[in-house]
Chain A
């Protein structure tokens, strides 16, 4: 059973195509890295997989559920780490995570566990706006994995992290987590290292697609020219 199956996915924004003709298949435990310049459609793709946006054409199956008909079942199985951290700056890390725990029906002791795993326990009781961007990103990561999702959707997860934190987050969202991951990135070299499938988007269309063996670094860098 594939984790993600797309067939001719399309979504438009008025008369402009945000995504067009995207087809791929991703097995459980695999990592898909999506590359492309800003506005290429990476975020749109992620949001469709998260069941936040409807596809306008094509077939979308996430964790063997059809979207948008079965989007209900997908919620709670998917974790999205987006550009906005989806956290309230005036609340503390602990309050934010407790809130999300309640919304997902997750037991509250998991919050304390995650905070400890990410070395956030000391600053967990201060409002988020007093924390550094790196720490806020860690809290956002905690929020993403709080409910043990089967599929991780990560939009440039390492962007704001402090260098030392990479080891902390790897068992949660990195290759060491063993989860199925769809990751947006601007790093072609890293993509070739981590990915099982690579997808390069340009202006909403697929420019490059394949396993790291089939795709070359030049092709990926060409996306950005």
Chain B
């Protein structure tokens, strides 16, 4: 179910990333003030945008779970948030490198995007510990979804708040993304598409891999006749019981009973 289209997606991702990198290094003009280091902009800003969208989408998937109680929504929500957290960390790192390169400091409070990201990162870093500390899988999914919805709504609110709070007198260190000359705009767009594709592909990989592992484990358990209560499942932050494995297991069990 999850593996469909994975190959096509991977290929287009590779193509897009190669295209983007080519444009970044050979096509986009060198920026006058910041020189070569400015090219990190084509990585940092798309990562930021994708991570933010990912967090909000995670919240939307969570709403899907709360409305339908279908474990698959929670599964998607978990993977998307997980991936966005990684992209957020990458955003912070690239932003920090950029800041050091062009301003001389590893951290700047006058860049509202960076500051907002720090707060959002600190918030979402609690997502997995929260999940891990709730043992009941159904409650874990439910509470995680409530968190994802709340945090997803928090992200834009936080951005506005931090923007307001940052002094307008300081020039923005990392430059604004509007008013880009044509060649830079094109490079930026291609980069955005490339990293977005990478995000989606990685998410799909994780969804497929996890799902396959669950099915395998459920099958193995049923075939060996082992009861679930004999070996308590390892506690995990990830959703354990996506819909489909239960039915699969039950069918096998009934098939076994009828012979």
Chain A interfacial positions (CB closer than 8 Å to B) = 12-17, 203
Contact = CB atoms under 8 A, between A and B. Distances in A.
A16 B240 CA distance: 12
B218 interface: yes
Nearest to A54: B69
A156 B137 CA distance: 28
B136 A16 contact: no
Interface of chain A, main secondary structure: strand
Interface string B210-233: 000000001001000000110001
A16 B135 CA distance: 13
A39 to B, nearest CB: 9
9 contacts: A12-B246, A13-B136, A13-B138, A14-B241, A15-B241, A15-B246, A15-B249, A16-B229, A17-B228
Nearest to B218: A15
Contact of B137 (A14, A17, A203): A14
Interface of B: 136-138, 218, 221, 228-229, 233, 240-241, 246, 249
A14 B246 CA distance: 10
A14 B233 contact: yes
List 6 A-B pairs, minimum CB-CB distance, nearest first.
A14-B137, A15-B228, A16-B228, A16-B229, A14-B241, A14-B240
Contacts of A15: 218, 221, 228, 233, 240-241, 246, 249
Contacts of A13: 136-138
A203 to B, nearest CB: 7
A27 B229 CA distance: 34
A160 to B, nearest CB: 27
Given A14-B241, A15-B240, A203 B136 contact: no
A12 B240 CA distance: 13
A15 B136 CA distance: 10
Contacts of B241: 12, 14-15
B136 A14 contact: yes
Nearest to A20: B250
A28 B137 CA distance: 36
A29 to B, nearest CB: 35
A194 to B, nearest CB: 31
A13 B240 CA distance: 11
Given A14-B138, A15-B221, 19 more contacts: A12-B241, A12-B246, A13-B136, A13-B137, A13-B138, A14-B137, A14-B228, A14-B233, A14-B240, A14-B241, A15-B218, A15-B228, A15-B233, A15-B240, A15-B241, A15-B246, A15-B249, A16-B229, A17-B228
Among B218, B221, B228, B233, chain A packs the most CB atoms within 10 A around the CB of B228
A33 B19 CA distance: 71
A34 B249 CA distance: 28
Among A14, A16, A203, chain B packs the most CB atoms within 10 A around the CB of A14
B233 A203 contact: no
B229 A203 contact: yes
B97 to A, nearest CB: 43
Contacts of A12: 241, 246
A15 B221 CA distance: 11
A16 B226 CA distance: 11
Contacts of B137: 13-14
A12 B136 CA distance: 10
Nearest to B140: A14
Nearest to A14: B137
A15 B228 CA distance: 6
Nearest to A13: B136
